[in-house]
Structure 1
């Protein structure tokens, strides 16, 4: 029977995270599994707790949204530790990419009996240091929208991302990017550049429909300069991934993607936005063992 260590951030969506863990945790214990809970003081502390628990051979559960999921998963990347997720955030995009069930009973069954599966992660290198992300690196208006969503006090979930997007687009002016994909330079002017390991970002929006977590590649999505009314249409098409069929959207793929711009442009990873370009994203094939 598996032994679990759940890590919760009590300062970020604490009530939702604790409620989700209580439901799933009761089912794990009823099945005979051992579950211990750790409350982190910060993301760095959560990562420290995760490495320690993984080193003891325990299944490490990230309880919360994409920020703590990405931080803990990144900390375990490259190790033999087994990673599980109890989704309890606004976006839950990496859990969605893994196909995890939302029903507590079905999720508990996955955590108890699911077979480990190895997925790729992303090494992210910038002037701010080196980190490891799970879902994507995005640089442009979507990073600014994510920042606005994180600052939202009233709206939650997809609504906060949508309103954050509206606020960002009204003030955004297209940037001139230089994107280098496995040594090949691409010039781009527009709204954003996304290096995606997962198909999803921004609370279920399908930014990169062809992205796969286990193919050893990053999908590159570049949205070009366009009238604002067309960009709002593109935002709406992210619900289905239909935007990739438009001429304003350019798609490529590679193992290493460097993104630069002609001015200060924010970039984000897994829901966290606290850095600016340039940034280099490298795929780390089969670096993380997950339950799905």
Structure 2
């Protein structure tokens, strides 16, 4: 990145238990000190930040987009720049930071993150596109969850209390008592698979959920989607297999299957998918990989 560029910056003030605001402000100060014009595109919520960011890009008011926060902010940034020549800088300051970590970027370090943005190079990565029933493009960079994990997310997000990780832990316990294998239709590059499964994840990157390496071999720039299927198992087996996702050892279990392709369609009843940790949309859903859709400042 050369000097005196216009940097459109979006900061999530609540990321990483409110450390996102502090690290984001530090990064903005360092960017300004390096001679860049920092344009604050932050807003009261993600929808308004997207609106402001898209307007700035359409008006040619910024030369790059920089997001400060966790995977949700990377998700927002990808939805701003995918399919354009506008590069994306990441100030990783959230709780999980899976995409930043897997891309080899500094985490919770404003100085190093700004150094990467101002003096580093660029890397083209794939992004995953879903076209909504309204014809709108929605993108994600990391992993789309569409099984037990998505149901837990949906349940936890419906509760106002408790806050933080405990809410998700309680949602897991509550869901385990009632969860049943889900009938899926999974179509990959036109090949149809029917199965009953506990978990289905569509991966562009290897990890989600703060270090869960759900598809350890997934690559951001191979032009392929990796679809992990944990086929029907008993609840005790699920309890044994699921924790292994932090090391990636779960992929050796006989109930785990990984399929690859460029386009996937998922069908199941009552499932709302989550991508990059954000509520993405209900199944059925079709996604396709778009090679090199995003330029990341690295």
TM-score if structure 2 supplies the norm length?
0.88
Instruction: Please tell me whether the aligned partners of residues 74 and 134 of structure 1 are also in contact (alpha carbons under 8 angstroms).
Output: no
Match of 1:286 in 2: 292
Compute the displacement of 1:51 (Å): 2.5
Q: Say what the alpha-carbon RMSD is for the aligned residues.
A: 2.3
Which structure has the highest strand share of the two? 1
Aligned to 1:45: 48
SS in 2 for 1:39: coil
Alpha carbons 2:223, 2:290 under 8 Å: kept:
yes
- Please report how far the alpha carbon of residue 10 of structure 1 lies from its aligned counterpart in structure 2 after TM superposition: 5.0
Separation in 2 of the partners of 1:210 and 1:161?
Answer: 27
Which stretch shifts more, 174-183 or 116-125? 116-125
Q: Which residue of 2 aligns with 1:36?
A: 39
User: How big is each residue's C-alpha offset from its partner over 1:182-222, in whole Å with a ceiling of 9 and x where there is no partner?
Assistant: 01111221112111101111121101111111111000100
Partner deviation per Cα, 1:16-56 (whole Å, 9 max, x = no partner): 32111122223323333332322213322212222334433
Q: Answer whether contact 2:17 2:95 (CA < 8 A) is retained.
A: no
Q: In structure 2, what is the Cα distance between the partners aligned to 1:182 and 1:289?
A: 26
Q: Which residue of 1 aligns with 2:105?
A: 100
Separation (CA, whole Å) in 1 of partners of 2:290 and 2:226: 14
Structure 2: which 5+ residue stretches go unaligned? none
Q: C-alpha separation between the residues in 2 aligned to 1:84 and 1:149?
A: 30
Shift, 1:170, TM fit = 2.8
Partner of 1:229: 236
Mean CA deviation greater in 103-112 or 159-168? 159-168
State the distance in 2 between where 1:91 and 1:152 align.
21
Go from structure 1 to structure 2 and tell me whether the alpha carbon gap of 1:18 and 1:136 turns closer, same or farther (over 3 Å shift). same
1:86-141 deviation per Cα after TM superposition (whole angstroms, max 9, x unaligned): 22322222212212112222112111111111111111235476411111222111
Aligned length, in residue pairs? 290
Question: Quick one: distance in 2 between partners of 1:163 and 1:217?
Answer: 35
Corresponding residue for residue 171 of structure 1? 178
**2:143 is matched with which residue: 136, 149, 153?**
136
Cα distance between partner residues in 1 of 2:155 and 2:280: 12
- What are the residue-to-residue correspondences of 1:198-209 with 2, within 5 Å? 198-209=205-216
Measured in 2, the distance between the counterparts of 1:32 and 1:153 equals 44
Between 34-43 and 231-240, the greater mean CA deviation after superposition: 34-43
1:194 corresponds to which residue? 201
Shift of the 112–162 alpha-carbon distance from structure 1 to 2, 3 Å rule, reads farther
CA distance in 2, matches of 1:96, 1:114: 16
Is 2:71 aligned against 1:81? no
The equivalent position to 2:250 in structure 1, one of 225, 231, 243, is 243
- Aligned-pair distance for 1:274? 5.5
Matches within 5 A, 1:208-219: 208-219=215-226
List runs of 5+ in structure 1 lacking aligned partners. Answer: none
Q: Distance in 2 between matches of 1:14 and 1:53?
A: 29
